Amino acid sequence: MTTTVANQVMWNRLISVVEEQAQALVRTAFSTSVREAGDLSAGVYDLAGQMLAQAVTGTPGHVNAMADAVGHFIRRIGRENIFEGDVYITNDPWEGTGHLHDITVVTPSFHKGAHVGFFACTAHIVDIGGRGFGADAASVYEEGLYIPIMKLATRGVVDATLIKIVRGNVREPDQLVGDIYALATCNEIGHRRLIEMMIEFELDDLAGISHFILDNSRRATLERIAALPRSTATGAMTIDGFDTPIELKVKLEIFADRIVSDFTGTSGLDKKGINVPLVYTKAYACYALKCAIAPEIPNNAASLAPFEVVAPVNSILNAVHPAPVALRHVIGHMIPDTVYDALDKILPHLVPAEGAGCLCNFQVSLRPRMDQPAPEGTVRAEVLTFNSGGAGARPTVDGLNATAFPSGVMTMPIEATEHTGPVIIWRKELRPDSGGAGKYRGGLGQFMEVGAVKGHEFDFQAMFDRVDHPARGRQGGANGAATTIGQDDGTKMRGKGKQFVAHGRRVMLAFPGGAGYGKATERDPALVKRDLSRGYISAEAAKHDYELSDAEIKTVLDSVKRGETV
């Protein structure tokens, strides 16, 4: 086997190694956010802390932020203090992945007594203490337990004091500690598979394969950038914010050897916990460009390096300590659409219309009703559920329904959500007419109806956007539908923040749709009839948005009644 072929085989093997690492975390995690939604990341790193490969399973916000994190671990721990059997941990928002609810675990890998690299993984955990997962805090100190970069285990011995401190400061101690051990275990799985590969290919270190991966990735990425027009464009978005709207602005500049995203002009820090550390801003700005320009080049330190990100200190996209950052994803997930607003002006007909953007998450803090004696069997519980609005239509195809872009996190099934606590999901279904009309239709959002088992009341942590600023269409496409939220008695609710829901009440949610691409009058009538037959659009939308005749609409609806496929 030639050296080049062997290196390519090992590169592919490393990708499979970290994917097995990620799947081990999915199988062993306690939190539903990891087990059911895939809110995690996993990767392997060389001795310098450069990411060589990442798992397919996971989110770009985690993995691209984690690409920088291992360097912080090396600096904080000190190379002279790195031993075989060690495990390191942090949830530092600025040296990890952006907020306290993400725990990152790094494990050094040794072969024949020599240090050869690192494995790292991150997972979102349901509770970290403090105010809980939400935007209500005024500083990071209120948002939960802070774990600095430190040793979870030294030479194989777990720090029992650290575990006691963690257990004493969170609402779900068994779940959180279980997740920590799952993170450490998945790194160990990655390490075992790496050593098997090194033995098979008779490697003493990773220097050779590291050079091969990084050199080829860098060269391929630079070739893609060099082929682009040297140009500059600006993009902007207005989104809901907490109490006041947020302006996101970017200047995108393409050079021969790099692309710079400069977010100067973006809104300043918010008083509430929707601020974004720069590491998370960088993660999603890089991801957006890489998806558009070099999607098939594997993600690693070298393929990310040519994408440079600048944001003013103390802007909402470069929040520094002690800014509250718990919901950094709500703003951070809007970064790709902002970047695409600029990129569309340089490379038209390449990027999609705007979508829902941020995940439609909410957390329910359940407890026995307090207005009168609660029946026996009522409990306290924290239930976090991940959901998605619609993705924006693409230049040649419709947007995906109820699909998270850019996070890639999966929508959680009702059964898994209800299993974690006394919550009831009374309704969860696609939202007709929520996808923006266009030559290509935006993806549909969802309806959800949420309540609690009899005898419980709850606090509802809303983490939504697109209430006042729905996704915008591109190239003549229509906007997607906006988010709506309220209680079943007509009580209005805010898009963000903790809100009380009394015993017997339900929260009624409609998640946003993606925007359309191109003019609706150019849509293939067969696709309009298909959407009508599937219930994706109403008869009114078919007539007014797509100009389908009354006779055509009647024919489609009659076929549906007869059980025929359109």
Nearest alpha carbon to residue 274 among 510, 39, 495, 507: 495
Calculate mean pLDDT across residues 204-216. Answer: 97
288 located within any domain: no
Question: CB–CB of 41/409 below 8 Å?
Answer: no
Calculate mean pLDDT across residues 325-329. Answer: 97
Domain boundary among 185, 200, 218: 218
Sign of CA dihedral 196, 199, 202, 207: positive
Residue 412 tokens, joined: 């959680």
- Report the chain's terminal Cα–Cα distance, integer Å: 54
Summarised one tens digit per residue, pLDDT across range 396-428 is 999 999 999 999 999 889 999 999 999 999 999
Residue 65 tokens, joined: 């932020």
Q: Helices 3-28 & 173-200, crossing angle to 10 degrees?
A: 160
Taken as a whole, the chain contains a residue count of: 566
Calculate mean pLDDT across residues 118-133. Answer: 95
Amino acid at 226: A
Give the per-residue pLDDT at 500.
Answer: 98
Q: Rounded to two decimals, what is the model's pTM? A: 0.96
Question: CB–CB of 471/237 below 8 Å?
Answer: no
Question: CB–CB of 524/538 below 8 Å?
Answer: no
Give the per-residue pLDDT at 149.
Answer: 98
Rg over CA atoms, the chain: 24
CA distance 450 to 488: 10
Give the per-residue pLDDT at 565.
Answer: 75
Q: Is the pLDDT of residue 4 over 80?
A: yes
Domain that holds residue 465: 352-523
Calculate mean pLDDT across residues 66-79. Answer: 96
Question: CB–CB of 111/196 below 8 Å?
Answer: no
Q: pLDDT above 90 covers what percent of the chain?
A: 96
Q: In this structure, are 213 and 356 located in the same domain? A: no
Question: What DSSP assignment string belongs to 110-124?
Answer: EETTEEEEEEEEEEE
Task: Quickly count: other Cβ atoms within 10 Å of residue 380's Cβ.
Answer: 14
Burial class (CB in 10 A: 0-12, 13-18, 19+), 377: exposed
Q: Picking from 54-58, 118-122, 255-259, which range would have the lowest pLDDT averaged per residue?
A: 54-58
Nearest alpha carbon to residue 275 among 241, 308, 235, 238: 241
163 located within any domain: yes
Residue 550 tokens, joined: 């009354």
Question: CB–CB of 50/212 below 8 Å?
Answer: no
184 located within any domain: yes
Q: Is the pLDDT of residue 435 over 90?
A: yes
268 located within any domain: no
298 located within any domain: no
343 located within any domain: no
CA distance 405 to 397: 15
CA distance 73 to 77: 6
Residue with tokens 């600006």: 234
Q: Is the pLDDT of residue 183 over 90?
A: yes
Domain boundary among 164, 195, 218: 218
Amino acid at 488: D
454 located within any domain: yes
Domain boundary among 218, 242, 271: 218
Give the per-residue pLDDT at 492.
Answer: 96
CA distance 465 to 242: 9
Give the per-residue pLDDT at 1.
Answer: 61
Give the strand order in the sheet containing 446-452: 423-430, 446-452, 507-510, 484-487
Summarised one tens digit per residue, pLDDT across range 29-53 is 999 899 899 999 999 999 999 999 9
Summarised one tens digit per residue, pLDDT across range 258-297 is 999 999 999 999 999 999 999 999 999 999 999 999 999 9
Coil, helix or strand at residue 43? strand
Calculate mean pLDDT across residues 457-467. Answer: 98
CA distance 242 to 362: 15
Q: In this structure, are 211 and 357 located in the same domain? A: no
Residue 4 tokens, joined: 């080049």
CA distance 510 to 429: 10
Angstrom distances, CA of residue 129 to CA of 30, 104, 133, 326: 17, 17, 9, 12
CA distance 426 to 176: 28
Summarised one tens digit per residue, pLDDT across range 493-538 is 999 999 999 999 999 999 999 999 999 999 999 999 999 999 999 9
How many structural domains are present in the chain? 2
CA distance 245 to 62: 26
CA distance 24 to 355: 31
Summarised one tens digit per residue, pLDDT across range 478-504 is 999 999 999 999 999 999 999 999 999
Give the CATH number of the domain where residue 27 resides.
3.30.450
322 located within any domain: no
Angstrom distances, CA of residue 392 to CA of 353, 383, 395, 434, 530: 5, 29, 10, 11, 19
Q: In this structure, are 359 and 211 located in the same domain? A: no
Give the per-residue pLDDT at 564.
Answer: 82
Give the per-residue pLDDT at 194.
Answer: 98
